[in-house]
Structures are given as C-alpha cells and as structure tokens.
Structure 1
Amino acid sequence: MELLEGGRTGRIWRDGDTVVRPSGEWTPTAHRFLRHLRSKGFLAAPEPFQITSEGEEIVSYVAGRVCEDLGDPLAGSERMLVSAAGLLRAFHTASQGFLESDSEAQTWMLPPQEPREIVCHGDYAPYNVATAGPEAVGIIDFDTAHPASRLWDLAYAVYRWAPLSDPANPSVAFGLDDQLRRAEIFCATYGATVEERRRLPEMICRRLQALVDFMLARAAAGDQTFADDVAEGDVRLYLSDIDYIRQHRDPVLKALC
C-alpha cells in the first residue's frame, strides 16, 4: 500500500484503486450520501465500498493531482478556477434530494446549518480537489459534509480559491486586486445570484467563525488532531482572515456586485 500525504498524516493509504481511511460516526451517513451522488450521475466523488470492523472506510481512489499551493502555475490558473467553480455547482445540483430521500438517522461531523437546502462538502478547497492538467476533475474527503445552504458552501469555496486571505501571509499567492478578480470569476461561473453575492462577505466570516468555534470545542474535548491544529496557529489565521475580509468588505462587494 502507498501512504498518501495530507489530511491525517500516516493514516490514509492507497491500495490499488481504493483508499483506506479512518472512519468516524458520521461515515455511514457520508457513504449513503456518496451513493446518492452516483445515483444522480455525479461520478467525480469517491465510490464507497466498505466500513471495516477495524474502524476504517474503503472508498475508490479519485485519480488526479492535488495541489494546495495556488502559486503553482496550474493550480492557480484561471482555467482551474473556472473548472473548480463549475465542479462545485455540479456537485450541489447532484446533492439535492438526499436530505429528503434518506430514511436513516443522519450523523454529521460538522453541525448542520439552517436553511438545510443541500448537503455541502464543507471543505471545498484546492487540497480536496483532484485535478488533471489545468482542470478540476474530482472531489475527495467528505468527512466534513453536512446540511446547509448552497451559499454556506460557496462562501468557504470562494474564501479558499480566491483566496480571500491577507497577502502579508507568505502562503498567499495573490494580492487583493487579483483576489477580487478571482472571487468574481468563481461566483460568475458558479452562477451566484446578486443576493448571494451581496451576502457573501458576511457569510464567509460566519463560516470561518463557525470553524474556529468547532476547532476550539474539539480541542478542548481532547481531540488531538484539532489540538495540534490550534497549537500550530490555524485559529489565529482564520480570525485574522475574518478581520481582513471585514476590513475590505466594500471592495469585495464592489467587485462581486
């Protein structure tokens, strides 16, 4: 088996055409959701196979290159941005109907948000998107899937793909002007309405604050993964980005609307 990088280090393996990952109490619901996506013709997500007695899930391997660094010429290209927005829209369309049709008790890692329009991916970022050349072709890691509005998921996606993060951070590849241009391209390709665009800056801040609250609660409850993330400064980064977005709210709205 081949150890895959990213995510939970040392705990995700590729075995031929399958991936073996740690499961959680939400995994049965996630597997039913993945089967729903396939029933709707959306084949860009893993196919679920099994949850083992050893506490692991087995899903199909989604072929493609994953790149978190938007400074990479392919990952940061406009063509990649457009294809990522289109893929998110297609995923949201396929997601419709699961909440109403699933007859079993549903358990999610992240708390559901109102209104419960669809099942969101919850972490639609470059590191969870498989690419082929300059295009996004697949979505991985559905641990964070949870019911919410389309806008809730779109907000986090724009935050990650623009990205709307302080350019003073050395890991941020684009300045404000390029971030605004990329945010508008993503929204236009996705098909965001004028009302969704108007609400987007505050929704991003709400989404990030919810993430911070969840991380701190999990760390306080003894979850070592989230405790490590907090110790490494992830919470400080998200809070800083909330301030950055609110500071530039007017330019963001002007670019989007």
Structure 2
Amino acid sequence: MKLLEGGRTGQIWRDGDSVIRPSGAWTPTVHRFLRHLRNRGFRAAPEPIAISAEGQEVVGYVAGRVCEDLSDPLVGSERMLISAARLLHEFHSASEGFLESDGEIKAWMLPPQEPREIVCHADFAPYNVATVDHEAVGIIDFDTAHPAPRLWDLAYAVYRWAPLSDPANPAVAFDLDEQMRRAEIFCTAYGATVEERRRLPDMICRRLQALVDFMVASAAAGDESFAEDVSAGDARLYLNDIGYLGMHRNRLLKGLS
C-alpha cells in the first residue's frame, strides 16, 4: 500500500485501484449518495466499495493530479478554472433526486442548510479536485457532503478557485483584479443566473462563518484535528476573508453582473 499525501496525514492509503481512509457516522449515507451519482452516469466521483469491520472506508481511486497551489501554471490556468466550474455543474445535476429517492435515515458531518435543493460537496476546492493536463476530471473527499442550496456549494467553490481571499496572505496567488476576473469566469462557466450572482457575495460570507462556527465548536468538543486547525489560525484567516469580502462587496457585484 502507498500512503497518500494531503489531509489526514498518515491515515489515507492507496491499495491498487482502491483508497482506504477513516470513516465516520456519515459514511453510509455518503456511500449511498456516491452510488446515486454513478446511477446517474456521473463517473467523476469515487466508487463506493465497502466500510470495513475495522471502521475504514474503501472507495475507488480517482486518477489525476491534485494540487491546491493556484500559482501553479497548470492548476491556476483559465482552462482549469472553466473545467472545474463545469464539473461542479455536472455534479450538481447528478446530485438531483437523492434526497427524495433515498429512503434510509441520513447522517451528515455538517448540518443541512435550507432549502435542501441537492447534496452539495461543500469543499469543492483545488485540493479536492483531480486534474489531468489542464482539465478538472474528478472530485474526491465527500466527507463534508450535506443537503443545501446549489448556491451554498457555488459560493465556496468561487471563494476557493478565484480565490476571494486577502492578497496580503502570502499563500494567495492573485491580486484583487485577477480574483474578480476569475470569479466571473467561474460563474459564467458554471451557468450561474443573475439572481445567483447577486446573492453570491453574501452567501460566501455565510458559508465561511458557518465553517468557522463548526471548526470552533468541533475543537471545543475535543476534535484534535479541528483544534490544530484553529490553533494554526485557520479560523482567523476565514474571518479575515469575510472582512475582505465585505470591503469589496460592491466591486464583486459589479464584476459579476
């Protein structure tokens, strides 16, 4: 077996065409959802294989390069940006119907958001998207999937892919002008409506605040992983980005219109 890099260091392994990773109370629901996606013809998500007696999740390996560094010419290219937005739209279309057709009790890691239009991925960021050449071809890590409006998912995706984050952060690859341009490109490629574009800045802030609240609550409840994230300043970074978005809200709205 080969240890995979990325989140949950030392806990995710590849064994041939399978990936072995920790499971949670939500994993049975996620596996049923992944089967729903495949039944709808969506093959860009992992195939659910099993939940072992030892509490490990086994899913199919999604081939491709995963990288979160948007300064990388391949990952940060306009072609990649457009393909990622289209992939998200395809995923949302395939997600339709699961909430109505699945008759079993559902558990989710994150609390559902109203209206419950579809099951959102909730972490559609470069580090969870598999790429080949300059195209986004797959989505991984569905732990955070939960029912929410499409815009809930689109908001976080635009935040991550533009990215709409303070350029004062050395990890941010683009200045404000380029961020605005990339946000508009992503929305256009996704097929965002005029109403969705109008609501997007406020929805991004709502999504980030919900993320901060969940991180802080989980850390307080004893979750070591989230405690480390909060200690490292991740929650503070998101709160800073909420302020950054508020400062440039009107400019973003103008750029998206």
TM range (shorter): over 0.9
Write out aligned runs for 1:1-257 (5 A).
1-257=1-257
Q: Could you report, residue by residue, the CA deviation over 1:123-158 in whole angstroms, capped at 9, with x for unpaired residues?
A: 000000000000100000000000000000000000
Once the two structures are TM-superposed, the CA of residue 53 in structure 1 deviates from its matched residue by 1.0
TM-score, normalised with respect to structure 2:
1.00
- Unpaired runs of 5+ residues, structure 1, are none
Q: How many residues align?
A: 257
SS at match of 2:174: coil
Once the two structures are TM-superposed, the CA of residue 49 in structure 1 deviates from its matched residue by 0.4
Which amino acid letter does the alignment assign opposite residue 54 of structure 1? Answer: E
SS at match of 1:203: helix
Which amino acid letter does the alignment assign opposite residue 91 of structure 2? Answer: F
SS at match of 1:137: strand
Once the two structures are TM-superposed, the CA of residue 7 in structure 1 deviates from its matched residue by 1.2
- CA distance in 2 between partners of 1:4 and 1:252 (Å): 37
- CA distance in 2 between partners of 1:246 and 1:15 (Å): 45
Percent of pairs with identical residues: 77
Q: Could you report, residue by residue, the CA deviation over 1:5-61 in whole angstroms, capped at 9, with x for unpaired residues?
A: 111110000000000000000000000000000000000000000001111000000
- CA distance in 2 between partners of 1:133 and 1:32 (Å): 31
Q: CA RMSD for the aligned pairs?
A: 0.3
SS at match of 1:147: strand
Which amino acid letter does the alignment assign opposite residue 205 of structure 2? Answer: C
Which amino acid letter does the alignment assign opposite residue 117 of structure 2? Answer: E
Which amino acid letter does the alignment assign opposite residue 254 of structure 2? Answer: K
Which amino acid letter does the alignment assign opposite residue 22 of structure 1? Answer: P
Which amino acid letter does the alignment assign opposite residue 111 of structure 1? Answer: P
- Unpaired runs of 5+ residues, structure 2, are none
